[in-house]
Amino acid sequence: MLAQVLKRCSATGQISVWQATRSVASWATVDPAAISGTNPAQGSNLVAGEWKQAEKSKSIPDPYNGEEFIRYPDTQISEIEPFVLSLQEVPKSGLHNPFKNPERYNLYGDISSRAAEEMRKPENLEFFAKLIQRVSPKSYPQALMEVTVTQRFLENFSGDQVRFLARSFGVSGDHTGQKSNGYRWPFGPVGLITPFNFPLEIPALQLMGALFMGNKPLLHVDRRVSIVPEQFLRMLHYVGMPKTDVDFIQGDGRVVNELLVRAQPRSTLFTGSKRVAEKLVADLDGKVFLEDAGFDWKILGPDVGDVDYVAWQADQDAYACSGQKCSAQSLLFMHENWKQAGLEQKLKELAAKRNLDDVTVGPVLTWTSDAMLAHVKKLLQLPGARLVFGGEKLTGHDIPQVYGAIQPTAVFVPLECILRTQETFDLVTTEVFGPVQVITSYKDEQLPQVLEATERMNAHLTAAVVSNDARFLHQVLGNTVNGTTYAGRRARTTGAPQNHWFGPAGDPRAAGIGTPEAIRLVWSCHREVIEDFGPVPPADKPLKQS
C-alpha cells in the first residue's frame, strides 16, 4: 500500500523531488522515507534535559500496511518520578517573568527566529510534511499546510515579539508615588497534552506559547504520532533552546494522567476528546484549559451562488484528512434553494474523486470501519433518512483492521427528525472522527428550528454561515456562540492558520491557539503590582483611621 502511495506521489512529482534531494538534518533521528517494518524508528522521552528510553517499548502499526514501524517508550507509572520532580522544581513564578530573567524573552525571540529559519529550508519543510504523512495519513497538501502554519507562527514570534506578548500596562494612582501595573504572569510548571490528528501544529504552537510566557511545560502527544513532536524538540535544541526547558513523555495517556495528578502543574492545556477533557478537569481540580471535541455545523443561507465553489469547500471541510479534524463539517444545514441547485449531486461527484492513492481518503486512526458503519446504519434507521453517498468500506488496500477505512459518506436526515427527541438529537450530533457527515435541509420559515439545533449542541468549536446576505448573517451570528465562525459566501469550518484565533467558546475553560491573544489567555494569568513609594503625607496633616 505504502509502495503504491509513494509510486503515485512520485508520478505527481511530490516524492521524486524529495528523494532526489533528500538529506535529513543533523538534528533529526528518523528518515520518513526509510521508516518501515524492517527499519523501525525508535522514539525517546526527555526529562530534566536528557533523552531517555523507558524500560519497555511498544510498537505502532503502520497505517498503510500494518507493519510495526515505530517503537515508542511505553513509560510505566513506576517510571514517572523523574518527571514529577522536574515539574515540582519549577517555581510558580516561572522560569522568567517581567521581573526575573527578562533576558529569556529575548532568548525565545531568538529561538523562534532561528527555528523559523531552519523550518523554512525546503528539505526541512519536506521532512516534517513526509513524517506527518507517515503517521497521520492525510494528503500531501494537507500535511504541508500544517508545517507551513508552524513555520509562519515561528516567524510571527521572532525578535521582540515575545516580550511584546508579555506587555504590561500602567494606570496612575491616587497620590504621588502610587501607580498600578498589570502584568502577564506565568503559571510556572504546566502540562500540555495534544492528540494525533495535527502531530506538529498543535503541540508546536501551544508549546512555544507556554515557553514564551515563562512556563516549563511537560509535553505529551498521542503515542501514534509522538515521533513528530520529538523531532521538533530536537530541532529546537539545535537552534538554542535549553534542554531542560521542556520535558516530554511518550506512552499511555493514563500514565500521563497519574503524572499530572502527582506533579500538580499550575495549569494544563488539553486538546482531545470530551471524555478525557472532563476527566482531567475533575482530577486537576479545574486547573485546565480545553480544546475539546468538535461537532461543527455549516448553514447555507437562502442566497444561492458560486455553487461549485461552495460544493468544493463543503467537500474539503467534511472529508479532508478523512474527516479527522476537530473542525470537520459534521452537520450541513442546507436551505432548500441549494437542494434545487443540485448541491447534493455535486458533493457526491467530488467525494467520488477522493482516493487512497493520494490519501485524499485514507486510514482513520480512532474509529474502526465497523464502528463508523454501525453509526451510519443507526442514522439510516431514522424516519425519512436516506444515504446520499458512501456507506461502504474501502477496498484494495492493506490498511490494518485496527484502523478504519470507509468511503466519504453523507446521510440525509430531515430537520424535524433531528429535533424530535433528545435521543435522536444525541445520535445525529455524535462526533464521528472520520469521513461521515449528516445533511439536512430547511425552508425560510424553519430558520428558528435550525437555530434551536445549534443551541442544543454541547460543542461550540467551529461553524460556517455561507451567505452574503447581511441580515441573514446577523441573525445567525447573533444567536450562536461557536468560537471560530466563518461568515460569508466563502465560509468554511476547517482551517486553523496562524493568523486567526482558533478555539471553542461558551465555556470559561475554553482555550485558543495561534494568536497573541490565545497565548496570553492560555499560558499566563494577570498579576497587578501597585507601587506606592511615597512621599507620605506631611506630619502636620493628621492621618485618619478608617
Ligand X SMILES: NC(=O)c1ccc[n+]([C@@H]2O[C@H](COP(=O)([O-])OP(=O)(O)OC[C@H]3O[C@@H](n4cnc5c(N)ncnc54)[C@H](O)[C@@H]3O)[C@@H](O)[C@H]2O)c1
Which residues are designated catalytic? 291, 326
197 part of the interface to ligand X, by CB under 6 A? yes
Q: Which residue is nearest to ligand X (CB)?
A: 253
Taking the complex as a whole, the smallest distance from the CB of residue 403 to ligand X amounts, in Å, to 12
Interface of this chain with ligand X, residues 4 to 33, rule: CB under 6 A: none
3-state SS assignment for residue 346? helix
Q: Which stretch binds ligand X (CB under 6 A): 64-72, 189-197, 399-407, 538-546?
A: 189-197
257 part of the interface to ligand X, by CB under 6 A? yes
Interface of this chain with ligand X, residues 434 to 493, rule: CB under 6 A: 461
Cα(376)–Cα(1) distance, integer angstroms? 27
Helix (H) or strand (E) holding 170: strand 169-172
Bridge partner residues of 466 (DSSP): 300
Amino acid at 317: D
Judged by CB under 6 A, the residue of 256, 350, 351, 473 near ligand X is 256
Judged by CB under 6 A, the residue of 433, 442, 472, 523 near ligand X is 433
Eight-state DSSP code of residue 322: G
Q: Which stretch binds ligand X (CB under 6 A): 106-114, 265-273, 390-398, 484-492?
A: 265-273
Interface of this chain with ligand X, residues 83 to 122, rule: CB under 6 A: none
Eight-state DSSP code of residue 377: H
Nearer to ligand X, 231 or 467 (CB): 231
Nearest-5° Cα angle at 217, 272 to 251: 55
Taking the complex as a whole, the smallest distance from the CB of residue 279 to ligand X amounts, in Å, to 5
Q: Which stretch binds ligand X (CB under 6 A): 101-109, 285-293, 356-364, 520-528?
A: 285-293
Q: Which stretch binds ligand X (CB under 6 A): 239-247, 269-277, 440-448, 526-534?
A: 269-277
Strands 525-532 and 178-185: antiparallel
Phi, psi of 144 (to 5 degrees): -65, -35
Q: Write out the E strands in 455-496.
A: 462-466, 484-487
Nearest-5° Cα angle at 131, 128 to 133: 110
Write the CA distances from 319 to 271, 307, 354, 436, integer angstroms. 21, 18, 9, 8
**Cell numbers placing 479:** 444567536
Judged by CB under 6 A, the residue of 69, 72, 128, 196 near ligand X is 196
Phi, psi of 51 (to 5 degrees): -75, 130
Nearer to ligand X, 126 or 431 (CB): 431
382 part of the interface to ligand X, by CB under 6 A? no
326 part of the interface to ligand X, by CB under 6 A? yes
291 part of the interface to ligand X, by CB under 6 A? yes
Judged by CB under 6 A, the residue of 222, 245, 247, 317 near ligand X is 222
Q: Which residues fall within 8 angstroms of residue 493, CB to CB, at 6 or more apart? A: 296, 297, 298, 317, 327, 328, 329, 462, 463, 464, 486
Taking the complex as a whole, the smallest distance from the CB of residue 202 to ligand X amounts, in Å, to 6
**What's CA 204's distance to the chain center, in Å?**
10
Question: Residues in the chain, how many?
Answer: 546
Amino acid at 402: V
Nearer to ligand X, 96 or 220 (CB): 220
Taking the complex as a whole, the smallest distance from the CB of residue 257 to ligand X amounts, in Å, to 3
Judged by CB under 6 A, the residue of 254, 353, 377, 456 near ligand X is 254
Cα(493)–Cα(319) distance, integer angstroms? 12
Nearer to ligand X, 153 or 196 (CB): 196
Binding interface with ligand X (CB under 6 A):
193-197, 220-222, 253-254, 256-257, 271-273, 276, 279-280, 291-294, 326, 366, 431, 433, 461
